[in-house]
Amino acid sequence: MKKFLMQAAWPLAVFVVVITAWDLCCRGFAIPAYVLPPPSAVVRVVLERHHTLWNAFCITALEAGGGYLLSIIGGVVIALFFAQSPLIRRSLYPYTILLQTVPIVAIAPLILMWFGSGLRSVMLVAFVICLFPIIANTTQGLISVPRNLIDLFIMSNASRSRLLLKLRLPHALPHLFVGLRISAGISVIGAVTGELFASSNAVGEGGLGYSITYANSQLQTDYLFALVLTASLLGFLFFFTVAALEWLCLRKWHESAMKIDAD
Amino acid sequence: MPQPPFIILDSVTKRWSNGATVLDGISLQAERGEFISLIGPSGCGKSTLLRLLAGLSGLSSGSVSLDGMLPESAREIMSFIFQDATLLPWRTVRSNVELGLELEGKTTESQRRKTSTALLQLVGLSDVADLHPRQLSGGMRMRVSIARALATRPKILLMDEPFGALDEMTRDFLNEEVLRLRENDQFTTFFVTHSVAEAVFLSTRILVLRAKPGQIAREIPVPFTFPRTADLRSAPEFLRLVGEVSAALRAVQVPSNPSNPGHL
């Protein structure tokens, strides 16, 4: 516990210094609040509008989480398919890289056009952006099983399904978690970006991204700050949930589980 | 009617797809309970021969009969022990030992547990049954690997340089352990090694292979009776035989020629 406090002390000190400097800047240079609101104003707006903030948080969490879960299912299924043969990988892998290289802001308007605005479309944007890290890492894990282990299973006359269930999948698990950790953070980016284009604008249905554009247009910079902080909090939450899950699954046998704090 | 030999290899030849001949006309017969060591320079195909016996690699010509069966059909009576322990890191020691039985699917969980308990006791790992492989030393991991191979009660044991990566003390200790295990279960063994002393200590027969192409250069019987103990290693007749095998091995070593590095 003492060690934990010591570890928390330094980031906390940085936090205090940054907040103080921020506050001093606002006062010292007399910066108008619509350019840079002081920390106290951000805290005030969080307290005042916690209800709408919470509402937006929940909507974005649902969109990001939904897209994320779909990308896990889709990504693992695609990776299983890719693991079947090098020919399949050679033919299709270049196209999955497109998922990574095409900017999401270019795809989002298309999704809006095809599927209309609303939660489903935003989820789809998050899904697209999360998919590649999961496909790439899981495929890598499935195909990198040491030759001797496969021979061992062959010597035991193990069926293909047993080979998959008892060897390839457990071996791929640490790789899958690498993909999951990368995608956890960017799922929120995907949802927020998606909302900029495809969010429903009905009252009470806009998430953090939608609220950000709204706050921006109204020059409510303090609220904008609160929204951005909330969005990053959501990303953190996703990331640490996955990291905790990873630790639970791998701590007994995988080397990486011991070093998770250092990542 | 006299029984045919337990294992028969008849002019076994293996060529890679690029035409290089790895094994050339290997013929050999083995009786039940023999312990045959394969020793030779790298590239002589000793590991390939083991993989052919295991059915993990196909022959180019010739034939292999294991208790009257082709290699692929004889897997049920064979176990393979690899150079590294090849344990599944996510399974406990006990669960690793039970793997072969589990994959065969002919036993109940309680039967497997009984088998693994007995084997872990036999190799002296009862205390670590619930640990994971990464918590063990290299020598302990290899013992788990041996216990796993023996769990299916194989009639044929194929060992591909299993102790090559271990320090000498651990290696000697495990050699004695293999002999002890062999007293219980009279499996027939093919054992690939680089260590002459190890080969002499364990085997009933040593095959010295030459490389390019891989052929049996010499066959040296090992006359010492079983059970053998650690004392054998310092006996004069043991040392004499080690000298003889070493000389045979030197005779087949291709002198290295820097201007013409052998292709692989």
β strands within B112-163, DSSP E: 156-160
User: Does A151 fall in a domain?
Assistant: yes
Q: Residue A180: what residue type?
A: L
| ipTM for the complex shown | 0.89
Q: DSSP states of A95-136 as a string?
A: HHHHHHHS-HHHHHHHHHHHH-SSHHHHHHHHHHHHHHHHHH
Any chain A CB within 8 A of the CB of B100? yes
Restricting to A residues 162-191, those with a Cβ less than 8 Å away from any Cβ of B are: 162, 166-167, 170, 173
Any idea what the CATH number is for the domain that residue A97 is in?
A: 1.10.3720.10
Question: Å from B209 to nearest chain A CA?
Answer: 24
Beta bridge partners of B156: B78, B188
CATH number at residue B29: 3.40.50.300
- Per-residue pLDDT tens, chain A, 263 aa: give them: 677 777 888 889 999 999 999 999 988 888 888 889 999 999 999 999 999 999 999 999 999 999 999 999 999 999 999 998 999 999 998 888 888 888 888 888 888 889 888 889 999 999 999 999 999 999 999 999 999 999 999 999 898 899 999 999 999 999 999 999 999 989 999 999 998 887 766 666 788 999 999 898 888 999 999 999 999 999 999 999 999 999 999 988 887 765 444 33
Q: Max Cα separation, chain B?
A: 62
First to last CA, chain A: 20
Residue B92 forms part of a structural domain: no
Q: Which residues in chain A are closer than 8 Å to B83, comparing Cβ atoms? A: 148
- Assigned domain for A99 exists: yes
| CB proximity list for B98: less than 8 A, separation 6 or greater | B112, B113, B115, B116, B148, B151
C-alpha to C-alpha distance for A140 and A142, rounded to whole angstroms: 6
Range of the domain at A89: 38-262
Question: Could you tell me the pTM of the whole model?
Answer: 0.84
Which residues on adjacent β-strands are paired with residue B63?
Answer: B10
Cβ burial A169-190 (10 Å sphere, 16+ → b, else e): bbbbbbbbbbbbbbbbbbbbbb
Helix (H/G/I), strand (E/B), else coil: A89: helix
Distance CA A178, CA A242 (A): 10
Domain count, chain A: 1
Nearest CB to B78; choose among A155, A173, A253: A155
Tell me if A169 is assigned to some domain.
yes
Cis before B227? omega within 30: yes
For tokens 């064979």, name the residue.
Answer: B78
Asked, for residue B129, whether it belongs to a domain, the answer is: no
Query: Is B2 a domain residue?
Result: no
Note which residues in 17-56 of chain B have CB less than 8 A from chain A. 54, 56
B164 touches chain A (CB under 8 A): no
Domain count, chain B: 1
Give domain status of residue B148, yes or no: no
Question: Does the beta-carbon distance from B132 to A146 stay under 8 Å?
Answer: no
Those residues with Cβ within 8 angstroms of residue A88's Cβ, 6 or more apart along the chain or in another chain: A81, A82
Residue B262 lies in a domain: no
In a domain, B179, yes or no: yes
- Whether the CB of B263 is below 8 Å from some CB of chain A: the reply is no
Q: Which domain holds residue B242?
A: 7-85+155-252
Q: Does A251 touch chain B (CB under 8 A)?
A: no
